[in-house]
A and B are shown apart, each in its own frame.
Chain A
Amino acid sequence: MSWAIEVQNLNVWYGDKHIIKNVSFRVPKNVIFAIMGPSGCGKSTLLRAMNRLLDLNPHARVEGQVKINGVNIYGDNVDVTWVRRQFGMVFQIPNPFPHLSIYENVALGPKLNGLVKDKSQLDELVKQALQKAYLWDEVKNDLRKPASMLSGGQQQRLCIARALALKPRIILMDEPTANLDPVASSKIEELLLELKEDYTIIIVTHNPQQAARVSDYVAFLYMGELIEIGETSTVFTRPSNILTEKYVLGRMG
């Protein structure tokens, strides 16, 4: 079976603090894989270790391997920009580029990475991405308007479109609905269920109910350690670890 991504013996330190402790797991293709755990357990760090966004933090140190198609992205001679292009990332607070228009936000990635040859191809790419993110109908007449005038939920879908425009293999999501109202949140959750047909989705969430709702597989992270991992239905109904049980029953931060 081929895996979308394999994490092997991953350790991350911020200065002297050991944040991710010897974590290993494998994510199959075309599933929604949730990483859940209480605040501060290292979920966001783990996510950023996967697309090497952690490199931006000068105090972070990474040991271990993360493999895509058998290639260790932390190996020597690996082009970090290639690594990042394999992923699309959506962040906790919607962060479209405020100084760019809706169109430009989606078009920026493909343009700078040379994915298209001319304007009509770019237009088509932007349209497809916005359609896939279920935003096209709402913005198709306002493409030149600044991204900052969209609502929170719309901005987040714009960020999803921005991520999709790069045609990544894997989409990383860092608590994407944490700052959205329930209506906007459920729209995004529905969107995820559709997207997994074409992409592998790794979603970090601090809300176990969300993990139960949307994911096929779930990993429970606690204080930087991988406590339990498995099919969502199994982990939620018959957790094999007392900590997992406490978490899914809502008895833990």
Chain B
Amino acid sequence: MDSEKIFLLFLIVFVSTSLLIMAGIVTSLIINSYQIFLRDGLSFIFKNVWNPVKEDYGILPALLGTLISSAIAISIAMPLAISLAIFSAEIAPTSIRGFINSVSDLMASLPSVIYGLWGLYVLAPILNQYIMTPLYQYLGFIPLFSTKPIPTNLFTAGVLLAIMITPFSSSIIREVYNAIPHHLKEAAYSLGMTRWEVIRTLLGYIKSAILAGAFLALGRAMGETVAVAMVVGNTFTLPRSLFDMGYTISSLIANQFPNAEAYSYMMPALYGGALVLFMVGLIINLAGLYWIRRVMTRG
């Protein structure tokens, strides 16, 4: 009995270490950022200024950059992810399904710095030449496209993020889709529906799972640092169109951190940005997990 108790204690020590680390992370964000919140209050989040000399900081452009690039990413990624999931689950011949899933999993495990490198030197020029410049030339009167594009901007970041998060959300959707009880599929077919109509029906059945997948993917897109930092332009301006260069909160931290020790309030500003990012990401991830749990227990 003793050895069992000791073993249990031993395990609990490790579990507690995991929990302590997580608590420590959140705590470190708070205690390293309170100075800026103390001084500026919540206006810190909504100010558009980054002036180290005057020690005046505001993360609004970065926050907007995070939201815009993630929004672009999700709108591109969701149709792709759903298509990939359906293609793998329904359309592709069974023999290559394993291959497709492996490719998808490989994409999900690729280091983000490789995505960033490729994004910077391959994707950005291509997007600039074939998509951004034409859009600017012909549709530049629309506010979204009204900036003369430079290859590294919010749009490129959004597209790169889309590429990165598609496999992840795709595998979630695919798993839930495959778990749909077979008799529901049979019922749909027996009503004389075409393949597409059956798929559409089943997709409606797993709406919550798709929503959950979107939330989780959004969380990931918002937190991605390195790949974004390499293609987003890293300019502190308030974005007015999709083609503006910009910052995201995480790329701001990555970029400005080397300077931070020289100033009094920059470090707290960066930790403050991290705290905001953490809170937003937490809410989104919890929402996603909540929806997933609902889907799993219902189905």
Contacts and interface: CB of A to CB of B under 8 A. Distances in A.
Interface string A23-57: 00000000000000000000000000000000000
A145 B42 CA distance: 69
Nearest to B1: A80
A78 B3 CA distance: 12
Which secondary structure dominates chain B's binding surface?
helix
Contacts of A78: 1
Interface string A68-89: 0000000001111100000000
Contacts of B3: 81
Nearest to A79: B1
A72 to B, nearest CB: 14
A75 to B, nearest CB: 11
B291 to A, nearest CB: 29
Contacts of A77: 1
Interface size class of A (residues with CB under 8 A): under 10
Interface string B1-32: 10110000000000000000000000000000
Contacts of B4: 80
Contacts of A80: 1, 4
A78 B4 CA distance: 12
Nearest to B2: A79
A102 B14 CA distance: 36
A79 B4 CA distance: 10
Contacts of B1: 77-80
A210 to B, nearest CB: 36
Nearest to A78: B1
A78 B2 CA distance: 10
A143 to B, nearest CB: 31
A17 to B, nearest CB: 23
A51 to B, nearest CB: 15
B55 to A, nearest CB: 56
Interface string A134-151: 000000000000000000
A7 B11 CA distance: 35
A119 B71 CA distance: 67
Contacts of A81: 3
A78 B1 CA distance: 7
Nearest to B3: A81
B12 to A, nearest CB: 15
A77 B1 CA distance: 8
B97 to A, nearest CB: 27
Nearest to A76: B1
Nearest to A80: B1
A81 B1 CA distance: 8
A44 B4 CA distance: 24
Interface string B138-155: 000000000000000000
Interface of B: 1, 3-4
Interface of A: 77-81
6 contacts: A77-B1, A78-B1, A79-B1, A80-B1, A80-B4, A81-B3
Q: Across the A-B interface, give the 6 residue pairs with the lowest CB-CB distance, nearest first.
A: A80-B1, A79-B1, A80-B4, A78-B1, A77-B1, A81-B3
